[in-house]
Amino acid sequence: MKAEGAFAAKREWLRHYLRTTLAEAAPITADNVAVVEHVLMEAEVDAAREALDEAGPPRWRPTPTRFAQQAGTTCMSTSLANGLVSLGEPALEAEATRDERVRRLVDDVVARTSSFGKPGEYRSVDDLFKYLEPGRLRELDLGAGVRLEHDYRVRLTCALLDVVEALWSGRGRLIVQRRAHAHLVFGLERQGGAWHVLVRDPMHAPGPAHGWLDLGELRRDYLWSPLKKLPRLMGPHAFPSLGADALLGHLERYDGMENLGVECPSALLFRAQDAPPLFSPPAPAGAEEGGAGA
């Protein structure tokens, strides 16, 4: 089996396991949905670990990198910039100019996205999607006419298998929010026989400092779970119970959304040519509500 086939096989297994588990637990109610969610998350973590074991050593391994430090409340946009650094963006390669160029990038993201309902200069992964999708990053002047060599995209995700495959291949990085603070997940490492992801907190001083999370922590504490949100989103009177087919229908609708807003605090960052296609084509630049400042 090719290495990539390990991830595809586990995705297929998870789809079958999801349907079987929901059918056995039906009717799903506000009282048992948390237990069902826990069982499904544990299965997802096991599947991710097994896929990584079958795929073998990661094709890309991070090297010590001088990441930038956030200023003010720019953790999300600074994590975007650090993601570009980790992806090897040539315009951010030189340490002598990196901090100034990151500052220009961060300022542009803040200026050209909406501050509505957000504290200070904080932005969401939804804002990153709106900023990157029309190609605004390629318009950015980093000083003296220097521009980024590559274009980039984010794809909202709550799938652990998608995250570990992107990190394993080196094609993607994860920008993820926890408690209104955004982090960059930028690599995989095996420690003591267990897989961990490398996490950069943008509050750290400039340099290579980072932490580690095991896959269970990443799934449980950082990645969004549509199943867990359903009782609150639908309301106490609209959610007396759901059968497996009805609940699967709701989950499939979430999978088909490109823009989940604040309900999805995690997104994979890719070079534009590596990003999975959208379900629907993006709106023309400037056509979205509010223009460049939306």
Poorest-pLDDT segment among 60-74, 116-130, 142-156, 169-183: 116-130
Is 168:55 a contact under the CB 8 Å cutoff?
Answer: yes
Give yes or no for residue 157 having a pLDDT over 90.
Answer: no
Instruction: Please provide the average confidence, as pLDDT, over all residues in the chain.
Output: 87
Give yes or no for residue 49 having a pLDDT over 90.
Answer: yes
Tell me how far apart the alpha carbons of residues 157 and 145 are, in angstroms, rounded to a whole number.
34
Q: How many CA atoms lie within 13 A of 280 on its CB side?
A: 7
Give yes or no for residue 147 having a pLDDT over 80.
Answer: yes
* Upstream peptide bond of 208 is cis (omega within 30 degrees of 0): no
Is 136:112 a contact under the CB 8 Å cutoff?
Answer: yes
Band (292; pLDDT cuts 50, 70, 90): very low
Question: Which residue in this structure is represented by tokens 């029309």?
Answer: 134
Query: 96: how many CB neighbours lie within 10 A of its CB?
Result: 6
Average pLDDT, integer, range 167-175: 97
Question: Which residue in this structure is represented by tokens 């509050």?
Answer: 203
For 283, the token pair is 């709106």
Average pLDDT, integer, range 23-40: 87
SS3 25: helix
**DSSP H/E element including 83:** helix 75-86
Choice between 224 and 163, residue whose per-residue pLDDT is larger: 163
Instruction: State the burial class of residue 137 (Cβ atoms within 10 Å of its Cβ: 0-12, 13-18, 19+).
Output: buried
Strand partners for 183:
176
Domains of the chain: 3-56+225-255 (no CATH), 75-220+260-278 (3.90.70)
pLDDT of residue 231: 59
The model's pTM: 0.89
Tell me how far apart the alpha carbons of residues 220 and 242 are, in angstroms, rounded to a whole number.
23
Residue burial 172-198, b: 16+ Cβ < 10 Å; e: rest = bbbbbbeeebbbbbbbbeeeeeebbbb
Give yes or no for residue 284 having a pLDDT over 90.
Answer: no
Contacts of 3 (CB under 8 A, 6+ apart): 54, 55, 56, 59
Mind giving me the DSSP string for 183-237? EEEEEEEEETTEEEEEEE-TTSPSBS--EEEEHHHIIIIIS--HHHHHHHHH-TT
pLDDT in tens, 83-107: 999 999 999 999 999 999 999 999 9
